[in-house]
Chain A
Amino acid sequence: MNTVWALAGVVIKELYRRKDFYVLFVLTAVMTLLMGSITFFNDPRIASYLKDICLLLIWISALVIAITTTARQIPAERENRTIFPLLAKPVTRGQVVAGKFLGCWLASGIALGVFYLFFGVVSASREHDLAVIQYLQALWLHWVMLAIVVGLALLGSLVFAAPSSNATICFIVVLGILLLGRHLNQVALQQPEPLRTVVYSIYFLIPHLEWYDIRDLLLYDHPGLRWTDCLLATLYAGVYTAMLLLGAWLLFRRKPLHA
């Protein structure tokens, strides 16, 4: 386990020593602040509209960070050939997969924490109260969802050679699930038979990332989720992530590594 943590530590160091992370963060921060400073509309509808946009930005930024960070991990190790001294140590390929996953997930967690903290401070300062429970639930579920995304990007980085094509495909898949995932069963109902089964199977196979999107809770003063639901959602994500990581390990295990 120490090995996995050591590997994760390198991923996190890389994230905060690269500049793109700060660019994205500053961008989101500036937008959030700008919107927070708009005072001339004292209309609550506009306030919640602005919060909506902020949260959307946070979602996009977090996805960008999670996917791009993960997608380049193993390809960069191979390109810079650091994978060779690494695997010459008493490190198994399974530990490399686990370490990269943990590092990327924690790194996106850190980024997410910063984003939410910022959002929380700004919106609390505007509204003088914050639905803490809902806020924490949204943060937690968001992070749990990113575990699936990181697992997907890690698996993708072993399937597709170029990190950029992997990142693009991951984006399309994740956005597709987020936007269409919940409607697929209705779509299936409208299809003729062979297609209907196909669409239904897709509906049951895909990880339903859209379930983790509980931004509405923060926008419209809904009550928080039941804790059992949070737990179930966490378990569901855990199972999907484990399957993706298993797939990544199986692919990586037999891969010959030459220049």
Chain B
Amino acid sequence: MITVSSLTKSRAQVRVLDDVSLEGAEGTVTALVGPSGSGKSTLLRCLNGLETFDAGQITIAGHRLAAGPHAPGLLERLRRDVGMVFQQFNLFAHLSAAENVALAPRVVLGLSASDARARGLDLLDRVGLRSFADARPATLSGGQQQRVAIARALAMRPRVMLFDEPTSALDPAMAAEVMEVIVELARAGQTMVVVTHDHGFARRAASRVVELAAGRIAREGLAGA
């Protein structure tokens, strides 16, 4: 499902990613760990084309990314199949929770407004927020916002989900409720790459743990190893 080979990227003369290779089979959860600045976010953002890279290549959900700039059409197709959840949630501030979830199905997949809303409500139900469908993001707690963000990404029925420290901006109680949702997804067989500092999660839900240090893979192994 995911193949990264010899990925290299420099930023201002610094090698942020240095010959990174990685495999992620269908239905597996890859945990990306490592110290701050080691290149975890950069690697994740390369996986859905938010960042370009200098050498190597990526195959993800059947799409191939090569070094250098990507064609917009390729990225749009790839991103339908690869969802992403951000540390800062990034919910659309002017839309309600349900509208946040329904926007992409309506605009990108061309669903009717009512079908898109139905899909949105289903997903909010799945993350336990059905009753907050019409709430604006600003009125939700951080944990609730992140669960809406997960529902929003799932609305495209992606084959791969990418998470960038989904719980780092949350206090422990809220982090737990978000982790619950992610663990649930893992059980359901969703292919995922999760950047995290939470070793507990890595042990509990990940199939493999990959540790980055200074842009290189320092350790790689089965969870719990």
Asked whether A and B interact, the reply is no
Chain A residues near B (Cβ < 8 Å) = none
Chain B residues near A (Cβ < 8 Å) = none
